Amino acid sequence: MNVPLLGLETEYGIIREDLENSDPVEESMELLKACARKSVFRKWNYSRENSHLDMRGFRVTALAQDEEEDAFCAADRARPYSYLDMKCDRVLTNGARFYNDHTHPEYSTPECRTVLSLVAHDVAGERIIAECAAIRNQELAGNPLQVFKNNTDYSGHSYGTHDNYLIPRGIPFADVVDGLIPFLVTRQLYAGAGKVGSENPRANHFRGLQLAQRSDFIETLLSIETMTKRPLINTRDEPHAASERYRRLHLILGDANMSAYATALKVGSTFLMLNLIAGGDKLPDLELADPVGDVLKVSLDKTGKTVLRRKSGGTIAAVEIQEVYLETIEKKFAGENPEWDWILAEWKKTLGELKHSPEKLSDRIDWAIKEKLFAEFMQSEGVGWDDPWLKSLDLEYHNLDPDRGLYRGLQQEGAVHSLLDENEIAAAVLSPPEGTRAQIRGKAVAQDADDIKSIHWTGVEFTNGERLDLTGVICVEEVEDVLNSKGQLV
């Protein structure tokens, strides 16, 4: 058994700086309308969605998000739009979905088979959204619309970046939970995007830079919820695939990384962990006594030396947990393929530098890039971590505007690691990853957009009644069978 598909969903922050009280729903709609890329518009098949099944074997009758949905609907009834109008769903020629998730534009990558392909499609999403923002600002005759790839507005709101993995249903869900929890608690050592201060009362008025943005908002171990009681592991059982064969592991605790390298390490290490669990190997006993509390505890100490209590007794440092997992995975998968070897090598290098020379991380790990950048700013301006200026800079680090975004400026100066070349990004903007069902979806949009009646991750329905059922299409051979049987898509 292995993990065949990966994906990323990112909700973006959005604001109109020329309006005192801008409406994020309206602004998200206008951003999506501004998209000039070929796409299928407002034809997403919501009847294929079911968010109430739980991986623990039951169906919930209601979610907290249902109440919020009802509240949104009550407010939305005053708007002169239909539900589909407000969602503004677009499915692009690269197989991605771009839509309005109530108050945030959200970009969902196509399904990918490799980590580096996924990273390229994540960056392609940034490019597409920045392009839409530029078009919208031309309409506004200025530059008032700003879009941020981050996870907090510093007003108590958090919006998500979700990494997704299609895993075999034959793996007991309890094994996934037991194997992943200590890993996820400590993954933020290299995957955190960095955050000035804290919005969590348990942080005791923390001053400085913590590792991760989402760590302030994790409240429980397991939950089907995503907008309240945010869990370490989300238990929603909505595979968007053949349910008898697969689960979709939907992780909501991660940060939005500006560094493509950090995204690759975040997703790559998790991908290898899941493949280790899928193999049925005995995992190290690293169960934590208080994993939920440890999420914030780890985030508030950038050294990785934070000592965590083990359920079996004794303690272990956060970075040591990562080292134990790395060593176990290295023994199992070293030499498997070049991409996995790259992940293992970079994972080891990063943990080593975290322990012995953390300043070397400041060209590729987001929180470390911020730490260096903000330290230089504070020294030049004579301000401290509690100055409101620092939170503004934190937001600007994630701004997609090439003339304002601090990360974008560092890219232009060559001060941060470039994992991808422009050709890889440009290809991902236009084309789907080959050998996945996204290739079929993308081809359908590119060649038959006007003839598509509805579209979803699991299939395409055409106006002439023909259907492409992609529910069971996962491996390369299955994709090739569909492509070869549908002449118009070849």
The predicted pLDDT at position 76 comes to 57
CA distance 397 to 371: 11
Neighbours of 349 (CB within 10 A): 14
Structure-token pair, residue 50:
């079911």
> 10 Å Cβ neighbour count for 337?
9
Residue 306 CA, chain-centre distance (Å), reads 26
Q: Residue 165 pairs with which residues in a beta bridge?
A: 6, 249
- pLDDT tens digits, one per residue of 394-413: 999 999 999 999 999 999 99
Secondary structure (H, E, C), the chain:
CCCCEEEEEEECEEEECCCCCCCHHHHHHHHHHCCCCCEEECCECHHHCCCCEECCCEECCCCHHHHHHHHHHHHHCCCCCCHHHHHCCEEECCCCEEEEECCEEEEECCCECCHHHHHHHHHHHHHHHHHHHHHHHHHCCCCCEEEECCCECCCCCECCEEEEEEEECCCCHHHHHHHHHHHHHHHHHHHCCCEECCCCHHHCCCCCEECCCHHHHCCEEEECCCCCCCEEEECECCCCCCCCCEEEEEECCCCCCCCHHHHHHHHHHHHHHHHHHHCCCCCCCCCECCHHHHHHHHHCCCCCCCEEEECCCCEEEHHHHHHHHHHHHHHHHCCCCHHHHHHHHHHHHHHHHHHHCHHHHHHCCHHHHHHHHHHHHHHHHCCCCCCHHHHHHHHHHCECCCCCCHHHHHHHHCCCCCCCCHHHHHHHHHCCCCCCHHHHHHHHHHHHHHHEEEEECCEEEECCCCEEECCCCCCHHHHHHHHHHCHHHC
Instruction: Yes or no: say if 292 and 253 are a contact pair by the CB < 8 Å rule.
Output: no
* Cross-strand partners of 467: 461
Alpha-carbon distance 18 to 21, whole Å? 9
Given its phi and psi angles, is residue 304 left (phi above 0), alpha (psi -120 to 50 degrees) or beta? left
Distance CA 60, CA 445 (A): 35
The residues assigned a catalytic role are 101
Residue 82: per-residue pLDDT? 81
Residue 314 makes CB contacts below 8 A (sequence gap 6+) with none
* Distance from C-alpha of 233 to C-alpha of 221, rounded to nearest angstrom: 6
Instruction: Measure the CA angle with vertex 226, ends 271 and 262; round to 5°.
Output: 35
Contact 116, 339 (CB under 8 A): yes
pLDDT reported for residue 444: 97
What phi, psi does 58 have (nearest 5°)? -145, 170
Domain 5-356+416-429 fold: Creatine Kinase; Chain A, domain 2 (3.30.590)
CA dist 362 and 366 (Å) reads 8
The pLDDT value given to residue 490? 44
**338-356 vs 173-191: helix crossing angle, rounded to 10:** 60
108 CB-near residues (< 8 Å, 6+ apart): 7, 8, 9, 10, 96, 97, 98, 99
What pLDDT is attached to residue 51? Answer: 85
pLDDT at 364: 98
Taking 50 as the pLDDT cut, the residues of the chain under it are: 490
What's the token pair of residue 92?
A: 């692009």
Write the pLDDT tens digit of every residue in 182-202: 999 999 999 999 999 999 999
- Residue type (1 letter), 400: L
Backbone φ, ψ for residue 133 (5° rounding) = -65, -40
Distance CA 21, CA 19 (A): 5
